[in-house]
Structure 1
Amino acid sequence: MPSASRGRDGATPVKSDTASQGRGQSRQRVIEAAIGLLTRAGRDAVTTRAVADAAGLQPPAIYRLFGDKEGLLDAVAEHGFAAFLATKHVDPDPRDPIEDLRAGWDVAIEFGLANPALFTLMYTEPTRATSAAFKAGMEILMGRVRRLAAGGWLRVDEELAAQIIHATARGAVLTWLSLPQDRRNPALLTTLRECMVATVTHQRPAVKDPGPAGAARALRAALPEQTNLSSAEQQLLTEWLNRLAADG
């Protein structure tokens, strides 16, 4: 009979793989159970005993899988960031960059309103910013901002633009959720979105305007793609462009 495949130490890895798969399935069951409790009854309902019961496990299993309750909540938030990331559409060359910005902002709002308890858990603690999925989502946002800058649309610095876009979307959802049902006016969301757009972008590409700030931002956004300058030259040019961009 042919022998089973073995690892580097000569041991058959089947049991290890099966144990790892079982652990992953148990983690997923616990996370889904926690999200269910969070959605139905709020954060206070997410106790280790309640989650274990909902997942069909014993409470000590929660500690083995997540360390403690905070570890479980971190895993739930990471699951939320990954789910949000999956809703994002990336167009590397949008026909209308401003409409692409609006659409991206709307996606964040729609996710938050569809998942209020999960969104609140994700975005009310600064430590969540270390999430890998959160960072991946911010990279998508920065890509959108860089395309705006390269096209001459950006009114402010790229980092500030990303902060404004992210803060207005997060703030819009959390403010909406804090309001009583009879005071939730859809005009709030539309107004906040348009204020964001007006703050971070020009009505037409600034490279067509006489002012140098917009042109400097556009050139700075495209600079990393250039290969005909030395690192010292790129550094010096970036410093000059930063000065020009700051004058806008």
Structure 2
Amino acid sequence: MPLSPQALVDELVARVDALPRDTWSRVIVDGAAPTKPGGLADALVEPLRALGRPVLRVSAGDFLRPASVRLEFGRHDPDSFRDSWLDVGGLTREVLDPLEPGGSGRVLPSLWNAETDRASRADYVVLGAGGVLLLDGTLLLDKWLPAELTVHLWLSPGALERQVPDEERWTLPAYAGYEPHADVTVRYDHPARPALVGPV
């Protein structure tokens, strides 16, 4: 089902708002870097707040492992990029687990600054009742991260190869065989004409 970018935002906002309001909702927006999953996650913030939903934005890029661990096999190792760059334990412990039913709602929005290779020193925040966590990142949906709604921005192999910048082409093998099962899959070869896959 082809959509305009705004219609895609409206569709996702409706799906998120249909989630129960008596607990928190964890929403993951996943896609290869060229799809800019963070941009789509950002576009959901204000419409959800307008519906009375508290919203917290978190990026998986703020939960990378220290360089000494992340780059153990070099800066351009696609297997490490896929399997061990992300601090899955830290992201789960500090962001996702506190939003389980009966959890504290107390979330650490960032853990590590990859540019400075130091702890981010962020303060904990409390997500209000009925709140929505919007988490964006790449290669997230094969890591058993708990979520109430998952969205995958799908690129065909050809589109991925065309759109990845030259300096990031070393990451291409990391996407081979990555076919996550998401609640919502969006064909994103042409961002101006996204299309929902499967029943609406």
Band of TM-score, shorter chain: under 0.3
> Which structure shows the bigger proportion of residues in helix conformation?
1
> Which structure shows the bigger proportion of residues in strand conformation?
2
| TM-score of the superposed pair, with normalisation by structure 2 | 0.25
| TM-score of the superposed pair, with normalisation by structure 1 | 0.22
Work out which structure has the larger RCO, using CA pairs closer than 8 Å and 6 or more positions apart in sequence. 2
